[in-house]
Amino acid sequence: MSRLGRLMPVYSKRAPMLLQENIPLAPLTTFRLGGPARFFVEAKTPREVEEAVAFARSKKLPLFVLGGGSNLVVADAGWPGLVLKVAIPGIEPRAGIRDGKVLFDAGAGEPWDRFVSHAVMAQCAGVECLSGIPGSVGGTPVQNVGAYGQEVSQTIESVEVFDLQDSQVRELCPEACGFTYRSSIFNTTERGRFVILRVTYALTPGGEAHLEYADLKRHFEGRETRPNLAETREAVRHIRARKGMLIVAGDPDSQSAGSFFKNPVLSEPQHQDLQKRAAAKGLALPSYPALEKNHKVSAAWLVEKSGFARGYGFGHVGISSKHTLAIVNRGGASAVEVVALKEQIQHRVEEIWGIHLESEPVMVGF
Ligand SMILES: Cc1cc2nc3c(=O)[nH]c(=O)nc-3n(C[C@H](O)[C@H](O)[C@H](O)COP(=O)(O)OP(=O)(O)OC[C@H]3O[C@@H](n4cnc5c(N)ncnc54)[C@H](O)[C@@H]3O)c2cc1C
């Protein structure tokens, strides 16, 4: 068998989909670590998704749905079943304007940033602040991707899914997706039930750029005219690159899964307790209006104030030199090392601040 694995057709009535064996997953993830997939298939159409699911079922293989691999930690042993990479392409604006919006249908396999670029070029507002986020269109509803004051839940019109429960294709409205901060039914109550095939976004033609976040406002300080969508997109990409949150070839801080911890959402008593603990140390909680309105506190602040500086690390893993929340693979890291660093940070933050930091990336094969 070649290094790339054996190829065999899944179904043979039409052009067959290629099923591969023992495919390394590390190159298919932004973290670039972890073991192989026992079986691997790439689906370019909804029909191929259905066929791949049928194959996994017939062989009783556990199924993992892969998008752009930018929010994953794959176990060193890899995935024992079938990895189905959703590669459905296409970005189609629908004709006409409805309630002041243009609808765009995007295949789940489209790279997300290509979709954002497309929207910005078409002068349609709503996703410009989400520029530079890696991964696929299909990955965005899963954790309700957000940055710089925008979240995809604000623009998602519907999500077309293949339902593994009854093998039907259906369309979910935003309410059915249960979007909240970094969460939806896809990563909570209905985890593993749906394969996302297509997402429809409702964008505002001729709309203004969303400039709520402090970093963005600072970037345009002193400017007299309002930045347009393209300028906002460039600014976001620029700020992200400075923070190691844009994947740039050759940047050692780029091999990561982005922010490793979610900003904790606290209850009022928890927030008061945190303030007391901070005051006892002569510290004041930082004020971030965008976080506070949702009762969130900065996970980066908690990590820093627990003794973890940028650049901290051991072995082949560390904290990014540009961003306290990103754990990076410095080259040749194992998933075990990543988990050890994650747990070290979680234990220390909990010990000092009484807060459990929830990790953001999906753990695959653990
Ligand atoms: C440098 C960097 C910066 C980042 N910045 C941000 C940020 O600012 N904001 C933010 O929210 N996230 C950010 N992320 C995280 C990540 O990019 C997003 O979560 C992204 O949407 C994940 O999409 P993906 O296609 O890569 O999904 P994957 O990593 O492949 O998968 C993630 C989860 O989604 C599921 N999934 C993926 N595709 C499908 C599908 N078609 N159907 C069903 N389930 C699917 C997978 O099964 C898995 O559970 C960042 C990551 C990196 C590496």
Of 129, 107, 105, 103, nearest to 116 by C-alpha is 129
pLDDT at 17 over 80: no
CB atoms within 10 A of CB 97: 12
3-class SS of residue 130: helix
Of 159, 169, 122, 170, nearest to 137 by C-alpha is 159
Q: Which amino acid is at 179?
A: F
From the CA of 67, how far away is ligand 1's center (Å)? 7
Kind plus residue range of the DSSP H or E element containing 33: none
Contact call for residues 325 and 299 (beta carbons, < 8 A): yes
> How does pLDDT run across 25-53, given as a tens digit for each residue?
999 999 999 999 999 999 999 999 999 99
* 144 CA: nearest ligand 1 atom: 11
Which of 142, 199, 358 best tests ligand 1's pocket when mutated (most atoms within 8 Å of CB)? Answer: 142
Dihedral sign computed on CA atoms, order 180, 182, 186, 187: negative
The pTM of the full predicted model, rounded to 2 decimals, is: 0.94
Report pLDDT for 56.
97
Residue nearest to atom 52 of ligand 1 (CA): 258
Burial track 342-361 (b if 16+ CB lie within 10 A, e otherwise): beebbebbeeebebebebbb
Which of 28, 42, 50, 70 best tests ligand 1's pocket when mutated (most atoms within 8 Å of CB)? Answer: 70
From the CA of 140, how far away is ligand 1's center (Å)? 6
> How does pLDDT run across 286-343, given as a tens digit for each residue?
877 666 666 789 999 999 999 999 999 999 999 999 999 999 999 999 999 999 999 9
200: left (phi over 0), alpha (psi -120 to 50) or beta: beta
